[in-house]
Structure 1
Protein backbone atom coordinates (compact mmCIF):
# COMPACT_ATOMS: atom_id res chain seq x y z
CA UNK A 1 0.00 0.00 0.00
CA UNK A 2 1.31 3.43 -0.83
CA UNK A 3 -0.01 5.12 2.35
CA UNK A 4 -0.25 3.69 5.85
CA UNK A 5 -3.50 3.32 7.77
CA UNK A 6 -2.43 6.14 10.07
CA UNK A 7 -1.67 8.49 7.18
CA UNK A 8 -5.03 7.80 5.57
CA UNK A 9 -6.92 8.27 8.85
CA UNK A 10 -5.14 11.56 9.63
CA UNK A 11 -5.86 12.88 6.11
CA UNK A 12 -9.51 11.84 6.32
CA UNK A 13 -9.98 13.45 9.74
CA UNK A 14 -8.22 16.63 8.58
CA UNK A 15 -10.55 16.81 5.59
CA UNK A 16 -13.57 16.41 7.88
CA UNK A 17 -12.24 19.20 10.09
CA UNK A 18 -11.83 21.52 7.13
CA UNK A 19 -15.30 20.75 5.74
CA UNK A 20 -16.94 21.42 9.11
CA UNK A 21 -15.46 24.91 9.24
CA UNK A 22 -12.48 24.12 11.44
CA UNK A 23 -8.82 24.06 10.67
CA UNK A 24 -7.99 20.92 8.73
CA UNK A 25 -4.35 21.36 9.62
CA UNK A 26 -5.05 21.55 13.37
CA UNK A 27 -7.41 18.57 13.14
CA UNK A 28 -4.68 16.62 11.36
CA UNK A 29 -2.19 17.41 14.12
CA UNK A 30 -4.63 16.30 16.81
CA UNK A 31 -5.54 13.17 14.83
CA UNK A 32 -1.90 12.05 14.87
CA UNK A 33 -2.09 11.90 18.69
CA UNK A 34 -5.28 9.84 18.90
CA UNK A 35 -5.11 6.14 19.65
CA UNK A 36 -6.15 3.72 16.96
CA UNK A 37 -8.87 1.10 17.39
CA UNK A 38 -8.03 -1.78 15.05
CA UNK A 39 -9.52 -5.23 14.80
CA UNK A 40 -8.76 -8.24 12.59
CA UNK A 41 -11.07 -11.10 11.73
CA UNK A 42 -10.26 -14.19 9.68
CA UNK A 43 -13.05 -15.35 7.38
CA UNK A 44 -13.19 -18.39 5.11
CA UNK A 45 -15.22 -17.70 1.97
CA UNK A 46 -16.57 -20.91 0.39
CA UNK A 47 -15.69 -19.83 -3.15
CA UNK A 48 -12.78 -20.37 -5.54
CA UNK A 49 -10.11 -17.67 -5.31
CA UNK A 50 -11.16 -15.48 -8.27
CA UNK A 51 -14.83 -15.55 -7.28
CA UNK A 52 -13.93 -14.78 -3.66
CA UNK A 53 -11.82 -11.79 -4.76
CA UNK A 54 -14.78 -10.43 -6.75
CA UNK A 55 -17.06 -10.94 -3.73
CA UNK A 56 -14.69 -9.15 -1.35
CA UNK A 57 -14.26 -6.25 -3.78
CA UNK A 58 -18.04 -5.95 -4.15
CA UNK A 59 -18.69 -5.97 -0.39
CA UNK A 60 -15.92 -3.46 0.34
CA UNK A 61 -16.87 -1.13 -2.52
CA UNK A 62 -20.48 -1.04 -1.29
CA UNK A 63 -19.23 -0.28 2.23
CA UNK A 64 -16.81 2.42 1.05
CA UNK A 65 -17.66 6.06 0.72
CA UNK A 66 -19.05 7.15 -2.60
CA UNK A 67 -16.37 8.18 -5.03
CA UNK A 68 -13.73 6.02 -3.33
CA UNK A 69 -13.12 2.76 -5.09
CA UNK A 70 -11.22 -0.18 -3.67
CA UNK A 71 -7.46 -0.02 -3.97
CA UNK A 72 -6.20 -3.32 -5.27
CA UNK A 73 -2.78 -4.96 -5.24
CA UNK A 74 -2.44 -8.25 -7.07
CA UNK A 75 -0.17 -11.19 -6.52
CA UNK A 76 -0.20 -14.79 -7.59
CA UNK A 77 -1.96 -16.21 -4.58
CA UNK A 78 -3.02 -13.05 -2.76
CA UNK A 79 -5.02 -9.89 -3.41
CA UNK A 80 -5.08 -6.87 -1.12
CA UNK A 81 -8.09 -4.58 -1.22
CA UNK A 82 -8.47 -1.35 0.78
CA UNK A 83 -11.32 1.12 1.18
CA UNK A 84 -12.24 3.97 3.50
CA UNK A 85 -15.70 3.78 4.99
CA UNK A 86 -17.56 5.54 7.77
CA UNK A 87 -18.10 4.13 11.25
CA UNK A 88 -19.12 5.28 14.70
CA UNK A 89 -21.92 7.72 15.43
CA UNK A 90 -23.59 8.76 12.19
CA UNK A 91 -20.91 7.02 10.13
CA UNK A 92 -18.73 10.13 10.44
CA UNK A 93 -15.57 8.47 11.78
CA UNK A 94 -13.29 7.35 8.92
CA UNK A 95 -12.43 3.64 9.03
CA UNK A 96 -9.70 2.11 6.86
CA UNK A 97 -10.64 -1.44 5.87
CA UNK A 98 -8.02 -3.75 4.40
CA UNK A 99 -8.75 -7.27 3.16
CA UNK A 100 -5.99 -9.73 2.34
CA UNK A 101 -7.50 -12.49 0.22
CA UNK A 102 -5.37 -15.64 0.09
CA UNK A 103 -5.81 -18.64 -2.19
CA UNK A 104 -6.92 -21.69 -0.21
CA UNK A 105 -7.54 -25.24 -1.32
CA UNK A 106 -10.48 -26.17 -3.51
CA UNK A 107 -13.44 -23.89 -3.06
CA UNK A 108 -12.13 -22.24 0.09
CA UNK A 109 -10.49 -18.84 0.14
CA UNK A 110 -9.11 -17.20 3.27
CA UNK A 111 -9.74 -13.52 3.98
CA UNK A 112 -7.95 -11.56 6.69
CA UNK A 113 -10.12 -8.51 7.29
CA UNK A 114 -8.68 -5.54 9.20
CA UNK A 115 -10.53 -2.34 10.10
CA UNK A 116 -8.88 0.61 11.86
CA UNK A 117 -10.18 3.97 13.10
CA UNK A 118 -8.94 6.74 15.37
CA UNK A 119 -10.59 6.98 18.80
CA UNK A 120 -11.36 10.23 20.58
CA UNK A 121 -12.56 10.75 24.15
CA UNK A 122 -15.73 8.76 23.53
CA UNK A 123 -14.75 5.20 22.64
CA UNK A 124 -16.92 4.09 19.74
CA UNK A 125 -14.86 1.00 18.77
CA UNK A 126 -15.47 1.88 15.11
CA UNK A 127 -12.67 -0.44 13.93
CA UNK A 128 -14.05 -3.43 15.82
CA UNK A 129 -17.66 -2.83 14.81
CA UNK A 130 -16.82 -2.24 11.15
CA UNK A 131 -14.69 -5.41 10.96
CA UNK A 132 -17.49 -7.46 12.52
CA UNK A 133 -20.14 -5.97 10.21
CA UNK A 134 -18.11 -6.60 7.04
CA UNK A 135 -17.07 -10.10 8.14
CA UNK A 136 -20.76 -10.94 8.58
CA UNK A 137 -21.50 -9.66 5.06
CA UNK A 138 -18.67 -11.76 3.62
CA UNK A 139 -19.90 -14.84 5.45
CA UNK A 140 -23.42 -14.66 3.96
Structure 2
Protein backbone atom coordinates (compact mmCIF):
# COMPACT_ATOMS: atom_id res chain seq x y z
CA UNK A 1 0.00 0.00 0.00
CA UNK A 2 2.80 2.40 0.83
CA UNK A 3 4.25 2.61 -2.68
CA UNK A 4 0.90 2.98 -4.42
CA UNK A 5 0.12 6.01 -6.56
CA UNK A 6 -2.02 8.89 -5.32
CA UNK A 7 -4.91 7.79 -7.51
CA UNK A 8 -4.83 4.20 -6.25
CA UNK A 9 -4.69 5.32 -2.61
CA UNK A 10 -7.61 7.71 -3.13
CA UNK A 11 -9.69 5.06 -4.92
CA UNK A 12 -9.05 2.55 -2.11
CA UNK A 13 -9.92 5.12 0.57
CA UNK A 14 -13.14 6.16 -1.17
CA UNK A 15 -14.05 2.51 -1.65
CA UNK A 16 -13.50 1.85 2.06
CA UNK A 17 -15.92 4.67 2.93
CA UNK A 18 -18.63 3.10 0.78
CA UNK A 19 -18.81 -0.16 2.75
CA UNK A 20 -20.91 -2.68 0.77
CA UNK A 21 -20.80 -0.43 -2.31
CA UNK A 22 -17.02 -0.59 -2.38
CA UNK A 23 -16.64 -1.80 -5.98
CA UNK A 24 -18.99 0.84 -7.35
CA UNK A 25 -17.29 3.60 -5.38
CA UNK A 26 -13.83 2.54 -6.60
CA UNK A 27 -15.13 2.37 -10.19
CA UNK A 28 -16.57 5.88 -9.89
CA UNK A 29 -13.48 7.25 -8.11
CA UNK A 30 -11.32 6.26 -11.09
CA UNK A 31 -13.31 8.66 -13.24
CA UNK A 32 -13.36 11.65 -10.90
CA UNK A 33 -11.02 14.56 -11.49
CA UNK A 34 -8.31 15.25 -8.96
CA UNK A 35 -7.87 18.50 -7.04
CA UNK A 36 -4.23 19.18 -6.19
CA UNK A 37 -2.76 21.78 -3.89
CA UNK A 38 1.00 22.37 -3.83
CA UNK A 39 3.19 24.54 -1.68
CA UNK A 40 6.92 25.21 -1.48
CA UNK A 41 8.47 26.60 1.64
CA UNK A 42 11.81 26.94 3.37
CA UNK A 43 11.85 25.77 6.97
CA UNK A 44 14.70 27.60 8.77
CA UNK A 45 15.83 24.47 10.64
CA UNK A 46 18.52 21.84 10.10
CA UNK A 47 17.32 18.83 8.11
CA UNK A 48 16.75 16.45 11.07
CA UNK A 49 14.70 19.01 13.04
CA UNK A 50 12.73 20.03 9.95
CA UNK A 51 11.94 16.37 9.25
CA UNK A 52 10.54 15.96 12.78
CA UNK A 53 8.51 19.15 12.41
CA UNK A 54 7.04 18.12 9.05
CA UNK A 55 6.29 14.63 10.40
CA UNK A 56 4.39 16.22 13.30
CA UNK A 57 2.47 18.59 11.02
CA UNK A 58 1.41 15.72 8.75
CA UNK A 59 0.32 13.64 11.75
CA UNK A 60 -1.71 16.59 13.08
CA UNK A 61 -3.39 17.11 9.71
CA UNK A 62 -4.18 13.39 9.53
CA UNK A 63 -5.83 13.26 12.95
CA UNK A 64 -2.90 11.57 14.66
CA UNK A 65 -2.04 9.03 11.95
CA UNK A 66 1.70 8.79 11.47
CA UNK A 67 3.08 9.44 7.99
CA UNK A 68 4.98 6.64 6.31
CA UNK A 69 8.36 7.15 4.61
CA UNK A 70 8.60 6.93 0.84
CA UNK A 71 12.27 7.84 0.64
CA UNK A 72 14.97 8.45 3.20
CA UNK A 73 18.53 9.68 3.09
CA UNK A 74 20.99 11.92 4.91
CA UNK A 75 19.79 15.10 3.18
CA UNK A 76 16.57 14.06 1.42
CA UNK A 77 13.33 12.45 2.58
CA UNK A 78 9.77 11.94 1.40
CA UNK A 79 6.77 11.25 3.63
CA UNK A 80 3.15 10.46 2.83
CA UNK A 81 -0.05 10.42 4.87
CA UNK A 82 -3.76 9.95 4.22
CA UNK A 83 -5.67 12.87 5.74
CA UNK A 84 -9.30 13.95 5.67
CA UNK A 85 -10.52 17.07 3.90
CA UNK A 86 -13.67 18.61 2.53
CA UNK A 87 -17.02 18.67 4.34
CA UNK A 88 -16.61 17.05 7.76
CA UNK A 89 -13.15 15.78 6.84
CA UNK A 90 -14.73 12.85 4.99
CA UNK A 91 -12.95 13.29 1.67
CA UNK A 92 -9.64 11.36 1.67
CA UNK A 93 -6.59 13.47 0.80
CA UNK A 94 -3.16 12.01 0.01
CA UNK A 95 -0.44 14.36 1.27
CA UNK A 96 3.17 13.94 0.18
CA UNK A 97 6.03 16.00 1.62
CA UNK A 98 9.46 16.06 -0.05
CA UNK A 99 12.26 17.52 2.05
CA UNK A 100 15.71 18.57 0.83
CA UNK A 101 18.54 19.98 2.94
CA UNK A 102 19.34 23.47 1.69
CA UNK A 103 22.69 23.93 3.41
CA UNK A 104 22.91 26.80 5.88
CA UNK A 105 19.56 28.25 4.77
CA UNK A 106 17.44 25.49 6.26
CA UNK A 107 15.37 22.76 4.65
CA UNK A 108 13.25 23.05 1.52
CA UNK A 109 9.82 21.43 1.73
CA UNK A 110 7.52 20.66 -1.20
CA UNK A 111 3.99 19.71 -0.15
CA UNK A 112 1.49 18.08 -2.49
CA UNK A 113 -2.06 17.29 -1.39
CA UNK A 114 -4.40 15.47 -3.78
CA UNK A 115 -8.09 14.59 -3.44
CA UNK A 116 -10.81 13.36 -5.80
CA UNK A 117 -13.67 15.77 -6.52
CA UNK A 118 -17.24 15.09 -7.53
CA UNK A 119 -19.84 17.54 -8.78
CA UNK A 120 -19.45 19.84 -5.79
CA UNK A 121 -16.02 21.43 -5.82
CA UNK A 122 -14.67 21.36 -2.28
CA UNK A 123 -11.01 22.00 -3.21
CA UNK A 124 -9.96 19.53 -0.51
CA UNK A 125 -6.44 19.14 -1.93
CA UNK A 126 -5.79 22.88 -2.05
CA UNK A 127 -7.25 23.54 1.39
CA UNK A 128 -5.34 20.67 3.00
CA UNK A 129 -2.03 21.95 1.59
CA UNK A 130 -2.85 25.42 2.96
CA UNK A 131 -3.73 23.95 6.36
CA UNK A 132 -0.41 22.09 6.60
CA UNK A 133 1.54 25.22 5.63
CA UNK A 134 -0.27 27.07 8.44
CA UNK A 135 0.67 24.32 10.89
CA UNK A 136 4.31 24.51 9.81
CA UNK A 137 4.38 28.32 10.11
CA UNK A 138 3.19 28.30 13.75
TM-score by length of 1: 0.92
Q: Where in structure 2 are the equivalents of 1:1-140 lying within 5 Å?
A: 2-18=3-19, 22-66=20-64, 68-72=65-69, 73-140=71-138
Report runs of 4+ in structure 1 exceeding 3 Å deviation.
none
Gaps of 5+ in 1: none
Distance 1:77 1:47 in 2: 13
Alignment RMSD (CA, Å): 1.2
What's the secondary structure of 1:106's corresponding residue? helix
Equivalent residues, number: 136
Residue by residue over 1:8-55, the C-alpha shift from the partner in whole angstroms, topping out at 9 and shown as x without a partner, is 00000000011xxx4111100000000000111001111111000000
Gaps of 5+ in 2: none
Q: Does the CA contact (< 8 Å) of 1:49 and 1:107 recur in 2?
A: no
Deviation at 1:137, TM superposition (A): 1.1
What's the secondary structure of 1:13's corresponding residue? helix
Greater displacement, 57-66 / 90-99: 57-66
TM-score by length of 2: 0.94
Greater displacement, 108-117 / 1-10: 1-10
